[in-house]
Chain A
Amino acid sequence: MSGLLELWGTLPAYAQATFWILVVTVALILSVAFTTLWERKVIGWMQLRKGPNRVGSIFGLLPGIFQPFADVIKLLLKEVVLPSKANKWLFRVAPAITLVPAFAAWAVMPLDPRLVIADIDAGLLYVLSLTSVGVYGIILAGWAANSKYAFLGAMRSAAQIVAYEIAMGFALVGVVMAAGTLNLGDIVRAQQGGVGDWFFIWLFPLFVVYLIAGVAETNRAPFDVAEGESEIVAGFHVEYSGIAFALFFLAEYANMILISALTAVFFLGGWLSPFEGILAADNPLAQPGFHWLFLKLFFFLTCFMWYRATFPRYRYDQIMRLGWKVLIPVTLVWIAVEALMVHYGIGPWSAN
C-alpha cells in the first residue's frame, strides 16, 4: 500500500489528473444508472407501488438492484432508427453535445478539501458557460429529426433554458458577492464555520431561485414542457431510439446530479461538515470530506424526484411568467439587499 502511494507521488500531474477524470466519469455513469433506479423506486413508494423489483437482488436484499443494467443492455441492442429526410450527421451528434458539458463541468467541482481536478479561478464562469452549451444538443436534436413535435419541443426548451439561465446567473452573482471569489473551492471555504455560515441562510431567496431555476434548466417536471408527452409526444427526442435515446437520458440525469452538486457547493458548504464548530474539532463528525458533499447531493437529487411525483406540469406561459416576472425581480432585490448587508458589515462575510 505504501509502495503504491509512493508510486502515485512520482506520477506527473497530468497522469494523476487523467486518473481522477476516469474515476469521476465512471462514478458519474454508475450514479446515473442507479439514479434512474432510485427515481423509479422513490416515485413508486410515493404512489404506493413497489417500483422495479424483478431484476436481480443481493442475497435476497435490494430486489431490482440490477434493473439499470437490464435497461442499458436492452437499449444497446435496439436499432437506432434514422428518420427519413433527417439531417444524418447532426441527428447523430446531438446526443453527444448534450452529454459532454454535463460531464465536463465536473472538472472544476471541489470533491474534497484537497481534491479538485482543475483548480481554476474562473471556475464558476466555466460551469455556467459549459452548461449553457448543453442546450445546443436539444435544439439540434429537435431540428435535425425533421419532425414537428421534435421541433416544437426544441423551441420550447431553448426559450425556457435561455430564460432561466438569467435568473440562475443572478442568483450566482449573490454567491460570488458573498464569497468574493469565482473559484468553487474558495466558495466552499468561504462558508466555513458550521451550518450558520452556509450561504443558504443569508441568501435564502437566491437559494430558492437557484433551486427552481435548476429544475427548469434540466427540463425536469414540473418544467418539462420540452417533453410534454400529453401535448407533443416526447418533445425533442421523439425520433430517437435505442442507445441514442439512452444518451439523452444519461445527459438529463447527469445534469440533475450536476445541479444538485452545484447547489450543495454554492449554498450548503459543499464538503464542509454541518457539525463544524458545534462538536469538538477532533470529532469525526466535524471533519470535512466527500461524504458530506455526497449526502447533500443525494438530498437534492431525491428532491428532484419528489417534485416530479408531486407537481403537475406548468403551462408554457406560466413558465415564462415565473422566470421573467418573478424569479429575476426577486434576485435583483436580494442582490441589492445583500450589497447593503456587505456594506454595513452584517452577516458572516463581515469578517473578511
Chain B
Amino acid sequence: MFVQILFYAFSAVLVAAALGVILSRNPVHSALSLVLAFFTSAALWLLIEVEFLAIVLVLVYVGAVMVLFLFVVMMLDINVEEVRSGFTRYAGLGALTALVVIAQMVSVYWVKGLGIDATQGAPPLPADYSNTRALGEVLYTQYVYPFELAAMLLLVAIVAAIALTMRRRPGLKAQDVAKQVAVRREDRVRIVKDVGKDGAA
C-alpha cells in the first residue's frame, strides 16, 4: 500500500517534470525539469529494488551529463521565437511518434491482459541480495569482452572528439606552465647597487 502511494506520487512528479521539459518557455527551466525527471525515475527504480542502476542514473545523468547540458544552455542565447516557429513543420512527425509510443504501451498492457505475461512480476528479493555485486559478477566474467570493447569504443570517441575540435590558433596567449616552473631567480631579478650622486654607496 505504502509502496503504491509512493509509486503514484513519484509517477505524478515524473509526468509533471516531463511536461515541464517540453512546455516551459525558458530553456534553462526545461533542462532543470529534465534533471527532476531523471531524479524521480531514479526514485521509481529504487522502488523496484534496482538500487545500483538508480544511483548510477543520478551519478551519470544528473551529476555529469546534465551539468554540462545546463552549462551549455545557459551560455547559448537561444532564440525561443525561432525554435517555436518550427512547430507546425514538425507537428505531423511528432504526432506520428506519439501514436507509435502509445500503441506500444497499449500492446504491452494488452499482452498482460491475455495472461501470457512472461515476466510474472519479479519476486521480492531477499534482504541480503546485492544487485551491485550481481551486476559486477556478470559484467566482469561472462560479458568481460563486450564490456572491454564498450570501454575502448568510449575511449576512441573521447580521442576523436578532442582530435576533431582541438586546433592550434596562432597568436594564442596561453601560459606555458613548464616554462613558468623552470624560471629561476637569476632570470627575473637583477640586483643593482644604488649608487648615490656623489658616487658613495
Contact = CB atoms under 8 A, between A and B. Distances in A.
Contacts of B174: 317
B63 A165 contact: yes
A155 B32 CA distance: 16
Contact of A162 (B55, B58, B67, B75): B67
Interface in B114-150: 130, 132-133
A124 to B, nearest CB: 10
Contacts of B74: 139, 143, 151
A333 interface: no
B63 A126 contact: no
A278 interface: no
A133 B58 contact: yes
B114 to A, nearest CB: 37
B64 A121 contact: no
Given A125-B56, A129-B55, A317-B175, A139 B71 contact: yes
A121 B59 contact: no
Contacts of A136: 35, 67, 70
Interface of A is mostly: helix
Contacts of A318: 177
B7 interface: no
A238 interface: no
A129 B132 contact: no
Given A143-B28, A155-B71, A182-B132, A132 B175 contact: no
Nearest to B130: A121
A96 to B, nearest CB: 14
Find the residue from A129, A133, A135 having the highest chain B CB count within 10 A: A129
A78 interface: no
Find the residue from B59, B71, B175 having the highest chain A CB count within 10 A: B59
A136 B68 CA distance: 11
A120 interface: yes
Interface string B61-95: 01110011011001100000000000000000000
Interface residues of B, number: 24
Nearest to A162: B67
Given A129-B62, A132-B62, A136-B35, A122 B52 contact: yes
B155 to A, nearest CB: 12
B67 A129 contact: no
Nearest to B175: A317
Nearest to A120: B51
Given A122-B55, A133-B63, A136-B35, A162 B132 contact: no
A129 B58 contact: yes
Interface string B18-61: 00000000001000100100000000000000011001101100
A161 to B, nearest CB: 8
A132 B132 contact: no
B126 to A, nearest CB: 13
Contacts of A129: 55-56, 58-59, 62-63
Contacts of A340: none
A132 B177 contact: no
A158 interface: yes
Given A125-B52, A155-B71, A165 B64 contact: yes
B67 A158 contact: yes
A224 to B, nearest CB: 19
A269 B75 CA distance: 43
B132 A121 contact: yes
Nearest to A154: B74
B101 to A, nearest CB: 29
Nearest to B42: A129
A125 B55 contact: yes
A53 B133 CA distance: 53
Nearest to A143: B74
Interface of B: 28, 32, 35, 51-52, 55-56, 58-59, 62-64, 67-68, 70-71, 74-75, 130, 132-133, 174-175, 177
11 contacts: A121-B130, A122-B51, A122-B132, A125-B56, A125-B132, A130-B58, A135-B67, A155-B75, A162-B64, A162-B67, A321-B177
